[in-house]
Structure 1
């Protein structure tokens, strides 16, 4: 599990804003406080600010998100809440192909798999629900 998590955070090819918005959406869907409070030390240098997190529940409408970020948020939300409908939604996949390469979609899907699973485990077992984590810098 440690290698999977490390790959999501150190080998991911998604822009950090895109990755962090998807993660924040899943954190809210999972009701995982520790996940909602986690930040990446490299985030500010990559344009990730608190507004990105503050508006995560408004991913459909907040004007501060790019189209790619919005699609990643939609993918993340639907991955965790209606994965079979997502699988069969040709309109969604058509929109995704305009914004993501196959490699980026693979990174997004693998990331969401980690976040949904770990977030639900942490929330179910009530682990660390008052913590605030900062992922270490990779620079």
Structure 2
């Protein structure tokens, strides 16, 4: 980790809560809101989130699985999402969520009329904005965690690294 964390401090709590007190707690609140208030189906949400985790390379994000009402995606879901272009197991909206996430993170200037035609045929404007806000959160905060090395040491309550893959 490239940030000096005072002895005895939890790295995640220190970086996200104390180091930049005017920004960190607000960022944490935005991140938490993405999980608490998203109305996207779990598989769509996770397809987009895992795609961003793959692009970012955030170890924690790659390991984590969102749980809703006791449900999580199955163990092979990450591999299917990673192969969204050829996967036959993903529903059309799930494939579109993965495609949008990858393109948003790597070639957002290339989102053309053909893509938007397909996307808008499947997703409402509200869902488009919601998913885009989720993507922004995951890109920003996953990259913060990855480039600082926080992803190598962070752990959230009730999350045991490696247990959900």
Q: Is the 8 Å Cα contact of residues 29 and 77 (structure 1) preserved in structure 2?
A: yes
TM-score (ref. length: structure 2): 0.73
Moved over 6 A (4+): none
Using CA pairs under 8 Å that are at least 6 residues apart, name the structure with larger relative contact order, 1 or 2: 1
Alignment map for 1:1-139 (pairs within 5 Å): 1-42=27-68, 45=71, 48-86=73-111, 89-129=112-152
Q: 1:134 to 1:49 in 2, by over 3 A?
A: farther
Q: Which runs of 5+ in 1 are unaligned?
A: none
Question: Between Structure 1 and Structure 2, whose CA radius of gyration is higher?
Answer: 2
- TM-score of the superposition, structure 1-length normalised? 0.86
Gaps of 5+ in 2: 1-26, 160-165
Q: 1:33 to 1:70 in 2, by over 3 A?
A: same
Give the superposed CA RMSD: 2.0
